[in-house]
Structures are given as C-alpha cells and as structure tokens.
Amino acid sequence: MAKNTGLAKVLAIIGGLVITIQGVFALIEHLGIFNFPLGIPGEGGFLGSLGVLINAIIAIVVGILVLISTGVIKSSKTKVGFNGVIMLVLGILGIIFGNLIGGVLVLFGGILLLI
C-alpha cells in the first residue's frame, strides 16, 4: 500500500462529493425545479435534453461509486476496491461526465495511490 493513502482518500472523497453534487444540481436544473443557471451545455430540443439528463445521471453514478470505493457510503451490493487503477478510471469518467475539478481531484488521488 502506498504511504500517501490518507491524502489520496481525502482527495477522492472531496472529488466524489463535488461530482455527485454537480450531477444532482444538473438534474435539478434540467427538470426545472429551480431556475438558476449552472452552465449546462447542450440544451437544444429533445436530443439535447435527453443528453443532459443522461450526463447528469452518469455523473451521479460515478460520484457515488467514488464515495463507495473510499468507504464514505457503505454498500453490500457493490464491491469496489480503493486502488489506483479504479480511481484513475473513475477520475477520467468524472472529468468526462461530471465536474472537471472533482474529476481531477479523484485522478490525483488515483495517481497518489499508484506512486
């Protein structure tokens, strides 16, 4: 195990929270519950609308998987380990579908686990 495990876990927890919160806010904004802009691109017609919904749901799932792998959320159904490769993959998915800052934090946590 790497000696930077504590810092990697803290970075992954913060990144997972940021990704999850961004996904929830994107879903709330898209469904029209609140009317404040969060900078969600691609809202044009039915396909753009569907794309935003899918993007928000994937961001929420990636954020929850990060939080499950760090141990913040306990789940008996999923067996996601806290290792560097999983954190790198979840960080890249967080960058693509969620928030850039959250994804980069998870990515840095994965890099620290691999060092």
What pLDDT is recorded for position 115?
84
- Contacts (Cβ under 8 Å, ≥6 apart) of 31: none
State which residues form the domain around 36.
5-114
| 115 vs 112: CA distance, rounded Å | 5
pLDDT digits (tens, 9 = 90+) for 19-37: 999 999 888 877 765 555 5
pTM of the model: 0.81
Q: What is the DSSP string of 48-89?
A: HHHHHHHHHHHHHHHHHHHHHHHTSS--SS------HHHHHH
Name the domain count of the chain: 1
Residue 94: what residue type?
G
pLDDT exceeds cutoff 80 at 38: no
What pLDDT is recorded for position 45?
60
